[in-house]
Amino acid sequence: MARLPETIQNLIEEFNKLPGIGPKTSERFIFYLLKQPTEELDKLAERIKRLKEKITTCPVCYNFTDTVPCPICSDSKRDQKTICVVSESPDVIAIEKTSKYQGSYHVLGGVINQIEGIGPEQLKIKELVNRIQKNGIKEIILATNPDLEGESTALYLARLLKPMKIRITRIGRGLPMGSNIEYADEVTLANALAGRGEMN
Ligand SMILES: [Zn+2]
């Protein structure tokens, strides 16, 4: 079988690293790109390059942002005394799409996962505790995914934050076990937020 040119092969390998992209899709991307004018490819390359130059993490909530602090943390109309704790940035986008939440967020940067060697110290948990202590937070909504790692992370946080005398809630059971907040539909997610239950 004839081998693909090395330039194509190398780019296929790069696309293959993207989540949800297999070799077939990578090939389709490349043959699509080959048909585009050079200016389009330059624009794409430039935008990829800009990503890490322009986007940083908010020093308050650790969500991705191009302004510091991020638009949510600097919005005085939002309830800055309520923090919704999520594992990753796409969860913030999913909850924002419901238009039913007016508080702030805290992005942990993952979940506790023994097998993958991710402990509490690798997540933004220390930063969350500092934030609660400094800002007179009233409520923490634990909105990690309703799967094994998400549940154990929520449980860990509930125990850790218990002595801090604040309201600690967990998003409701409307979300099926093993599901993912990022892919939940807006109505289910809004219901899960509204139906949050006390953990302390
Ligand atoms: Zn922020």
Region(s) of the chain under CATH 3.40.1360.10: 64-198
Per-residue pLDDT at 28: 95
The fold of 64-198 is: Dna Topoisomerase Vi A Subunit; Chain: A, domain 2 (3.40.1360)
Per-residue pLDDT at 187: 87
Query: Does 1.10.3720.10 match the CATH number of domain 6-54?
Result: no
What average pLDDT does the chain have?
93
pLDDT tens for 143-167 read: 999 999 999 999 999 999 999 989 9
Region(s) of the chain under CATH 1.10.8.420: 6-54
> Which residues are near ligand 1, the ion (C-beta closer than 5 Å)?
58, 60-61, 69-70, 73
pLDDT tens for 57-72 read: 999 999 999 999 999 9
Q: CA dihedral in degrees (93, 178, 110, 60; nearest 10)?
A: 40
Distance 105 CA to ligand 1 centre (A): 7
Q: How far apart are CA 91 and CA 184, in angstroms?
A: 10
Distance 74 CA to ligand 1 centre (A): 7
Distance 193 CA to ligand 1 centre (A): 20
| pTM of this structure | 0.84
Q: CA dihedral in degrees (91, 96, 97, 102; nearest 10)?
A: 140
